[in-house]
Amino acid sequence: MGTSEALWGALVCCLFVSTIGQAPTFKRFEYKHSFRAPNLAQRDGSIPFWTVAGDAIASQEQLRLAPSMRSRKGIAWNKRSFVESENFQVDVALKVSGQGRIGADGMGLWYTATPGTLGPVFGANDFWTGMGLFFDSFDNDGQKNNPMISLMINDGTRSYDHHTDGSQQILSSCQRDFRNKPFPIRVRIEYFKNVLTVHVDDGMSQVPRYELCIRAENIFLPRNGYFGASAATGGLADDHDVTDFSVYSLFQETQKPAAEQQLPQAEKAKYDEEFQKQMEEYEKERQRYKEEHPDKAKDDEEDEYGKYFEDATARELRLIYESQTAIHKVMQQMEQKLIEIRQGQVSGGVAVPQQQQQHTGSQHVAAGQPSFAVHEKNEVIQTLRDLTASLRDMKNYVNEIFTKTYNIEQKIGSSGGAVASGGAGGGQADVATQQRLDRILAELNAVRANQGASGSAGSASCPDVPCASTSLFLGIIFVQSAVIIGVIFLRSKPEKSKFY
Ligand SMILES: [Ca+2]
Ligand SMILES: [Ca+2]
């Protein structure tokens, strides 16, 4: 009895608190006024407690009120009147879909004093008593305000005017595109304390996102009415499907104990008993079949399993799961890339300290590619340092040569001046010149020695030209010195003549 009680609790006695307006209420699912996919219809196409008429076709998955063919109409009406409460909530999931940019005619959800019949108002009869909520696809009056959801309350005396989309008769409306949405449109109609509200979902997500469409106060609907649904097509045609029609009775807090007492205890017991009996019978039959056909029983189970996985809901769930997995993978890849980039930045930032650490002896070797880069960098830096050092040496060396050459020039200049001023100095000047020449020679020798020492190899000093002997070199120097002295002497003469 425990299982059946739990089922009973889930199906029928689902009482919980919700807030509408100011008063907290209790809500109870009424299975005798509802139908839901899957297992919406029985095998013969009938819906328990409901009448299906016209072009409407009920299957396991949906109630197709009107197919996408010209001039069709269909209705489904509850056989039992709603006696459970004065107030109700109806949650409907519907689909209006078609190939065209524009569809027709639309769908109607009803709560009427008497069961509806086939007729001109979105498939149902005119001059009804009660509530009609219309999903009007086609813009008959050309006001560019369709698809539109409109509410009309009728007392049985008024006719719905299609040519004006009922604009003179409807109580309230909202403009919503309910056609060709990825998910069924969820509609929530609440009638509580003579306030009627209609919330509509946009059909863009699995989880409904209700938005207020209509709110009307001082509404007086007939007691013990009948719920219904209808649809019709015209020159243009959409499929009009309902996948869920769930009715809940609403109670005020003060009504709650009474409502619980009103629960048909005898009926509950009968239901439990029947359920238990059916379950036992089913189990018995199943056991017997298994015993009789041990090989086939397994196949049957596998078939059931396969059927389950071909279910539309399962497929949708699988698709969602797959896309989520794909997104998760991409995120993981991005995270990996980020970590790599961060590692690269860190290794680049500490390249110099690492090099210093390597110099002091302690080695910090990072894993993978960065260590190689650091190694390369260190090599390049070392080469640059060597280059700088050798350049500095070369600069010093050039400076040295320059200084020495300058000294020589100075000495030559001073000696030339002495010769010029000395006039006919004779043998003394020659001796002095000889001494200076000796000194120049000595310095030149020193420079040459330096060059030889700094040169990489001895053979490089005299590549192809045969080396000059010391005497020849001295002779050339002597001749050059004589020429320089002569030139300086000759130059001093015009300077003297300038004074005249
Ligand atoms: Ca219309
Ligand atoms: Ca219109």
User: Distance from the CA of 56 to the center of ligand 2, in angstroms?
Assistant: 26
Is there a single domain that holds both residue 219 and residue 322?
Answer: no
For residue 87, the CA-to-ligand 1 centroid distance in Å is 30
So what's the pLDDT on residue 400? 78
Specify whether 343 is located in the same domain as 472.
no
- The reply to whether 433 and 324 lie within a common domain is no
Residue 480 pLDDT: 82
Indicate if 255 and 122 belong to the same structural domain.
yes
Give the distance (Å) from ligand 2 centre to CA of residue 145.
5
- Write down which residue in 263, 292, 319 finishes a domain: 263
Give bridge partners of residue 230 from the DSSP assignment: 75, 108
Q: Considering every ligand atom, which ligand is closest to the CA of 232? A: 1
Same domain, residue pair 18 and 124: yes
How far is ligand 2, taken at its centre, from the CA of residue 148, in Å? 7
| Cα atoms in the Cβ-side hemisphere of radius 13 Å centred on 191 | 26
| In-domain check, residue 269 | no
Nearest ligand to the CA of 106 is 1
Residues 54 and 249: their CA atoms lie apart, in Å, by 29
Ligand nearest to C-alpha 122: 1
Retrieve residue 181's tokens: 């949405």
Query: Within a domain: residue 410?
Result: yes
Q: Is the pTM higher than 0.75?
A: no
Rounded to the nearest angstrom, the distance between the alpha carbon of 209 and the centre of ligand 2 is 25
How far apart (Å, rounded) are the C-alpha atoms in residues 485 and 491? Answer: 10
End of a domain among 263, 284, 319? Answer: 263
Ligand number nearest CA of 120 is 1
| pLDDT, one tens digit for every residue, the chain (500 residues) | 444 444 444 444 444 444 444 455 799 999 999 999 898 999 999 999 999 999 999 999 999 999 999 999 999 999 999 999 999 999 999 999 999 999 999 999 999 999 999 999 999 999 999 999 999 999 999 999 999 999 999 999 999 999 999 999 999 999 999 999 999 999 999 999 999 999 999 999 999 999 999 999 999 999 999 999 999 999 999 999 999 999 999 998 766 544 444 556 666 677 777 777 777 777 787 777 777 766 654 444 444 444 334 455 655 666 676 777 777 777 777 788 778 877 777 665 544 444 444 443 334 443 444 445 677 778 878 877 887 787 788 778 777 777 777 777 777 666 544 443 333 333 454 556 567 667 767 876 776 777 666 544 444 444 444 555 677 768 777 888 887 777 776 776 544 433 33
Q: How far is the centre of ligand 2, averaged over its atoms, from the C-alpha of 233 (Å)?
A: 16
- How many whole angstroms separate alpha carbon 33 and alpha carbon 50? 8
Residues near ion ligand 2 (CB < 5 Å) are 139, 141, 143, 145-146, 165
Q: 212 - beta bridge partners?
A: 199
From the CA of 41, how far away is ligand 1's center (Å)? 30
pLDDT digits (tens, 9 = 90+) for 337-378: 778 877 777 665 544 444 444 443 334 443 444 445 677 778
Q: What is the CATH number of the domain that holds 84?
A: 2.60.120.200
Residues 99 and 185 in one domain: yes
Q: CA-based angle 405:406:411, to the nearest 5?
A: 100
Q: Give yes or no: residues 413 and 335 share one domain.
A: no
Q: Does a structural domain hold residue 365?
A: no
Ligand 2 centre distance from Cα of residue 173 (Å): 11
248 found inside a domain: yes
Taking Cα atoms as reference points, which of 223, 176, 166, 230 lies closest to residue 204?
A: 176
User: HSE on the CB side for 356, CA within 13 Å?
Assistant: 4
Residue with tokens 């009482």: 15
Q: What's the gap in Å between 150 CA and the centre of ligand 2?
A: 10
Residues 54, 118: contact at Cβ < 8 Å? yes
Q: Which domain holds residue 176?
A: 2-263
Ligand nearest to the CA of 138: 1
Of 195, 228, 263, the last residue of a domain is 263
Considering every ligand atom shown, identify the ligand nearest to the alpha carbon of residue 105 and give its number: 1
User: Cβ(85)–Cβ(250) under 8 Å?
Assistant: yes
Q: What is the pLDDT of residues 228-265, one digit of tens each?
A: 999 999 999 999 999 999 999 999 876 654 444 455 66
How many angstroms separate the alpha carbon of residue 59 from the centre of ligand 2? 32
| Inside any domain, residue 400 | yes
Residue 75 lies in a domain: yes
Distance from Cα 22 to the centre of ligand 1, integer Å = 36
Give the total number of structural domains in the chain. Answer: 3
* pLDDT given for residue 425 in this prediction: 38
CA–CA dist 391, 414 (Å, integer): 34
CA–centroid distance, 415 to ligand 2, in Å, is 120
- In this structure, the answer to whether residues 317 and 230 fall within a common structural domain is no
| Shared domain check, 54 and 116 | yes
For ligand 2, the distance from its centroid to the CA atom of residue 164, given in whole angstroms, is 7
**Among the listed residues 69, 230, 237, 220, the one whose alpha carbon sits nearest the alpha carbon of residue 134:** 230
How many angstroms separate the CA atoms of 176 and 103, rounded?
Answer: 14
Handedness of CA 243, 249, 253, 259 (dihedral sign): negative
**183 in the same domain as 44:** yes
Q: Which residue has the tokens 């809940």?
A: 248
| Residue 235 within any structural domain of the chain | yes
Domain match, 244 and 104 both: yes
Shared-domain flag, residues 400 and 344: no
pLDDT at 420: 38
Are residues 172 and 214 in contact, defined by beta-carbon separation less than 8 angstroms?
yes
> Please, what is the angle between helix 312-349 and helix 369-422, to 10°?
30
Query: Would you say residue 259 lies in a domain?
Result: yes
